[in-house]
Structure 1
Amino acid sequence: MCRRAVKRLAANDPSGRHICYRAYVSGQGWQKPVCDGTIAGTSGRNRPIKALNIAVHGVGGSAANAFRHTAEPVDGRGKWQPSWTAVTGDGRNFTIGSAKRNAPNMLGFAMNVGTGEICNTVRLRGHDWGGRVCSKPRPDFTFGGTLEQRGLAGGREAHGVSVRQSRRRTPPDRHVHREGGEFRQRGLLRSGP
């Protein structure tokens, strides 16, 4: 699990910020954990991500929520899980989405950290990797993925994800600000912990 992977990194770099994650990929199952910006998921194999298992170190814990495909879309959009995860402390696992057999595919995710900065890039089916998106500590959060769904045949599920903790402030391609930027203004993203 990711907890073990992040603890190994922390043992070698106790003052560093780290994130480890693994994807549950449709038709494949749970992948091995990867860390600090390494790609999880698949590319070009038409296998969407259904869940992410995450553990962090050196960031004052993290919380997240999955945006998933729904059989009953509102305005062509997916649906958030009912609530964010609780803030989970450093060195502990948490999961968003679901690894159950008939669980919906993830279209995207929102995530925050207690200190530092978190960045992600996401690849959607039929698209190249998106730009890097970063956020500052809670109450800010980063969003990766899409809010749109086009049905199963032409969907835009998340197929790959790369997440990293930033040791120093670097200019991202885009920031999701305290109020969630466009997502908050459109009322599409609920505030997290």
Structure 2
Amino acid sequence: MTSDARPRAGMLLVATRALIDPNFAETVVLLLDVDDDGALGVVLNRPTPVAVSEVLEAWRDVVAEPEVLFQGGPVSTEGALAVGWLRDADDVPVGFRGVADLLGVVDLDTPVELVEGSLSGMRIFAGYAGWGAEQLAGEIEEGSWYVVPGSPTDVFRDDSTGLWRDVLRRQPGDLAWHSTRPADPELN
């Protein structure tokens, strides 16, 4: 069973049990950009042991707990991408590009003092997940991803270990049942 929603910025991709690629097994991906050329997102539930202060010292006081980098995906892992949550829709700082509602991408080249105080939360990701034109649609059709609505609270949880199950559990209908499905149903 897959969801019927079309992927768009701000939505979540939730890996199905059929997706065994170690880069994406049991992941939740926030889509940041979806167009005819492809899609780009970040994995929300892969924190690393690397403190933000070790690699991006200036941003250490702006990021949400836990103050670590997250593994955003297998593409361009040497680069960093930040997702922020605005405090006020009327106070959009320089370097912020809206994605959905109050969520957006923060340009890490922006001086911190121009952003500080404008965000309720910010998370920094090393790398990202990307799909070429029609690639994501094919993966959804083959049953690798559920496409579901996202929430800013999904992005900024203190503990992301239960995110995959929690996102599935809150879905309507049969999709919620997949949160309790074992990785290998034959072992059940």
TM-score of the aligned structures, taking structure 2 as reference length: 0.26
More helix by share: 2
Bigger radius of gyration: 2
Higher relative contact order (CA 8 A, sep 6+): 2
